[in-house]
Amino acid sequence: MDTTANDAAVRTLARRVLMPGFIGTTLPDWVAEELRAGLGSLCIYGGNIHDNQQLAALMAQVREASPEAILALDEEGGDVTRLHYRDGSNQPGNAVLGRLDDPQLTRASARAIAREMRSFGFNLNLAPDADVNTNAKNPVIGVRSFGISPHKVAMHTAAFTVGLQGEMVAACAKHFPGHGDTSTDSHLALPVVAVDPFTLAERELAPFTAAIQTGIAAIMTSHIMVPALDPENPATFSSAILGDLLRGELGFEGVIVTDALDMAGASAETGIPVAAVRALRAGADLLCLGTDMTRDDYELVIAAIIHAVHEGTLDIERLRDAAERTTALAVHYRLGDEACEPVQLAVGDWARAFETSEALEAWSASSAPVQLVQVDTDSNMAVGRVPWGFASVADTVPADQVDPRAKVLLAARAVDEEHAVHELAARLRRSGQQVLVCNFGWPADGADITTYGASPVLARTVLEMLQVPTA
């Protein structure tokens, strides 16, 4: 057998199933070369985007190298945005849409996202988040979810899918079979969802079933353990979960996309190349390799796939099947030459989604000048360093420079009982100042306003509601 020719054939198939990221805001030569040679997909991250002009130039380079590639990014709307990584999303986010519970509005939000994506040349959105957020202390899902009701999450997952795919952007529901009932971030460790099969079917799987019935193009795996389904392998590496359940029982025929394989839950113990082979063997079709890939990183993954085929630990037919599925997605959602102008989402009454306390009445009645303070809060890796809260739409002051004559609005997110905002609010109140705590996130004790999201549109809504001028 001509192993050189065989290696070339396997490499061709391997390219079709890989979705790397890259470093910088211009297209690296090695990525352009691989695109021209048949690289199936590319994922753009916040660090690759400086502004619209630069992004347009970058995407033109990508399209010139490969008109057929699947070009993806995470554009959930709300807290998780890549197109608006520098200024914050222009959409409210899933939790707000779930609170308003208007599928037409959810569909409109997704449609606006899709039109904007397509205007830059993207044809795969790694959204919607279909997780049912039943654990209030979930560190990575929270407001990315449409809510805690399986029925509601299923309905809005379907609506979001219709909105995206109606504009010819493929949707990808995540994180299968459900990341909502976890208290660990899979970017950092390997979470466990310890539920019985009945609960899993009725709760976690309901949104994915709805997405499949809607005709969703792709579903993303999660790096979580679900002992009820597979006591030995995380979902991304489980043929029982991806094959028997997703393909067999649920009847999904689209593309199975992995969550990023550079996450600790996937590759901390084995490295990305081994994780890539395991995911393919389990039934994944398109491997999201993660951010900041170098040519050497990429070549190690290619080499691992070729080696696995030679050694017989990865069936060539499984690799061929994955490549055929990703090619079919690329063909169906291929970008044409037609112009695609963004559409603006009609402004919803986002304040109807908020929870408020009785303290608002007295605070609003006071004639004292207003000062805004934003309490630094670390975001999870899915969100990144995106502008949020009052600081994204107005001038704020440091906590130690608050005018003692002012009434104060405090902004915080990821609020728990130990959050610094509680101590700051108590100190200001002891000094006689009127204070409102605005929690830009999932509900938590001690908040006077809970917005269910941190995007600038929600911050602006809070200030309009309280009649506070914005910058």
Those residues whose C-beta lies under 8 Å from the C-beta of residue 287, and which sit 6 or more positions away, are: 17, 18, 19, 257, 258, 261, 276, 279, 280, 301
Residues in a beta bridge with 173: 219
CATH 3.20.20.300 correct for 3-332: yes
Those residues whose C-beta lies under 8 Å from the C-beta of residue 437, and which sit 6 or more positions away, are: 410, 412, 421, 422, 425, 446, 447, 448, 449
Question: What pTM did the predictor assign?
Answer: 0.94
Confidence at residue 268, expressed as pLDDT on a 0 to 100 scale: 76
Those residues whose C-beta lies under 8 Å from the C-beta of residue 25, and which sit 6 or more positions away, are: 47, 48, 49, 50, 54, 58
Pick out the chain residues at pLDDT < 50: 1-2
Confidence at residue 140, expressed as pLDDT on a 0 to 100 scale: 83
- Structure tokens, 416: 């728990």
Confidence at residue 41, expressed as pLDDT on a 0 to 100 scale: 98
Confidence at residue 405, expressed as pLDDT on a 0 to 100 scale: 94
Confidence at residue 189, expressed as pLDDT on a 0 to 100 scale: 60
Peptide bond into 175 cis (omega under 30): yes
Helix (H, G, I), strand (E, B) or coil at 337: coil
Q: Using CA atoms of 324, 325, 326, 328 in order, give the dihedral in degrees to the nearest 10.
A: 80
Give the start-end residues of each E strand in 4-121: 18-20, 41-43, 70-73
Those residues whose C-beta lies under 8 Å from the C-beta of residue 305, and which sit 6 or more positions away, are: 10, 14, 276, 277, 280, 314, 319
Peptide bond into 128 cis (omega under 30): yes
Where in the sequence numbering do the catalytic residues fall?
187, 259
* Spans of all domains in the chain: 3-332, 350-465
Could you tell me the CA-to-CA distances from 255 to 123, 156, 172, 296 in Å, in that order? 14, 21, 9, 27
Could you tell me the CA-to-CA distances from 207 to 177, 309, 378 in Å, in that order? 10, 35, 29
Q: At what angle are helices 150-165 and 103-120 packed, to 10 degrees?
A: 40
Distance between CA atoms of residues 221 and 228, nearest Å: 16
Confidence at residue 1, expressed as pLDDT on a 0 to 100 scale: 40
How does pLDDT run across 411-459, given as a tens digit for each residue?
999 898 889 999 999 999 999 999 999 999 999 999 999 999 999 999 9
Distance between CA atoms of residues 377 and 69, nearest Å: 37
Q: How far is CA 158 from the centre of its chain?
A: 16
DSSP 226: B
DSSP 17: T
Confidence at residue 342, expressed as pLDDT on a 0 to 100 scale: 62
